[in-house]
Amino acid sequence: MELNILWFWIIAAMFIGYFVLDGFDFGVGMSLPFLGKDDTDRRVLINTIGPVWDLNETWVIVAGASLFAAFPEWYATMFSGFYLALLLILLALIARGVSFEYRHQRPELKWKKSFDAMIVVGSAVPALLWGVAFGNVVRGVPLDADFNYIGSFFDLLNPYALLAGLTTMLLFFTHGVIFVSTKTEGDIRVRARSLAIKSGLVTIVVAASFLVWTTLAYGTLASGILAAVAAVTLIAGYLANLRGNERTAFGLMAVTIGFAVLTLFASLFPDVMPASNDVANSLTIENASSTPYTLQVMSWTALIAAPVIIGYQGWTYWVFRKRISRSHIEAAAH
């Protein structure tokens, strides 16, 4: 296999890692107004992701840097083309990250509530805009002969891309709420499960329409099969949650997000950034990639590092496997 094909799928894998992991962080953040009745509830919610949000967020840094190294042209075109959208994502991620660390630094309720609001917005904006960004990549954007994006910010807000954004937002929301039900006990666990039953229905409808649109407009046979798998696991996850199998439901949601990302990448292949105005200006895995030497160096690094990374990150989740309840928060209150 050619290394640029390999790296196309490694980039896909990194974004799957990012969306599956930070996806539930976004969901937990967005769920604060729905599940967090009082400050103790909200602390329970935030503590479910407390030890791991930073490592989850790091996946986007690694994905971005790998994109830069493996497909510099793709990185340059996408990041300069989606300038304002990425600015909003950055501002949101900054607001969310500091809020986790700052909200507990002072006892006043007003102080905490303002940071909680920043967590909600800081989670919702990237959850929406990452979908919009990838929707536009799949749909294609106008590019000039030097591969520079020549549309405007508002061209990015087309119906297909907005539906993609709504899909990621709802997927992450339900994913995060189910995560809460696997990580808490007592009343909040029950409420999380029933919220996921409600939001899950909306998610199924929206995500299914998006997958159908993708398959009909931009899909191939392979991407259609992947989309079908995503739809099936999403429904299976919903049913598992309905029967009270929270952990199975969470696992199936993660698989759904994985297959949804694979659907998008399979629709793209072998393009990485199709030009909607002129096929000749499209970026492909051939004209966007680094040299075989650079890809070879990166492949060895990834090959050696991947098992170690998966090992210690998995171990971290195992260390923090216990459910959190209100009594933990009250016991540690200082």
Partner 1 sequence: MNEWLDPLLLSRWQFGLTTIYHFLFVPLTIGLVTTVAIFQTAWYRTNKAKYLQLTHFFGKIFLINFAMGVVTGIVQEFQFGMNWSDYSRFVGDVFGAPLAFEGITAFFLEATFIGLWIFGWDKLPKGLHLATIWLTTVGSIASAYFIIAANAFMQNPVAYQINEVKGRAELTSIGELLTNPIALAAFPHTIFACFMVSAGLIISVAAWHLSRNQHLETMRPALKFGLWMMVIAGALTTLMGDQLSLAMVQAQPMKMAAAEAMYHTATGANASFSVFTLGTPDGVSELFSIRIPYLLSFLSTHTFDGTVEGINNLQEQYVQLYGPGDYAPIIWVTYWSFRWMIGLGLAHIMVAVAGLWFTRKGKSPRTWMWKIAIWSFPMSLLAMSVGWVFTEMGRQPWLVFGLLKTADGVSPNVSGLEILISLIAFTLLYGALAVVEFRLILKAVQKGPDDAPVPDPVSGEIKQTTTVY
105-124: contacts with partner 1 (CB under 8 A): 105
Stretch 282-301 residues interacting with partner 1 (CB under 8 A) = 290-291, 293-294, 297-298, 301
d(CA 289, CA 65): 13
Stretch 43-62 residues interacting with partner 1 (CB under 8 A) = 43, 46-47, 50-52, 54-55, 57-58, 60-62
d(CA 135, CA 85): 13
- Closer of 30 and 78 to partner 1 (Cβ): 78
Using the rule CB under 8 A, is 126 a contact of partner 1? no
- The size of the chain, in residues, is 334
Backbone angles phi, psi at 272, to 5 degrees: -115, -25
Using the rule CB under 8 A, is 6 a contact of partner 1? no
Report residue 295 as tokens: 């890809």
Using the rule CB under 8 A, is 155 a contact of partner 1? no
- Three-state SS for 141? strand
Using the rule CB under 8 A, is 278 a contact of partner 1? no
Report residue 122 as tokens: 């800081």
Report residue 228 as tokens: 């079908």
- Closer of 211 and 324 to partner 1 (Cβ): 324
Q: How far apart are the first and last CA of the chain?
A: 57
Q: What is the smallest separation between the CB atom of 189 and partner 1, expressed in angstroms?
A: 18
Report residue 178 as tokens: 């189910």
Using CB under 8 A, which of 20, 35, 70, 163 touches partner 1?
A: 70
- Closer of 157 and 312 to partner 1 (Cβ): 312
- Three-state SS for 151? coil
- Closer of 190 and 305 to partner 1 (Cβ): 305
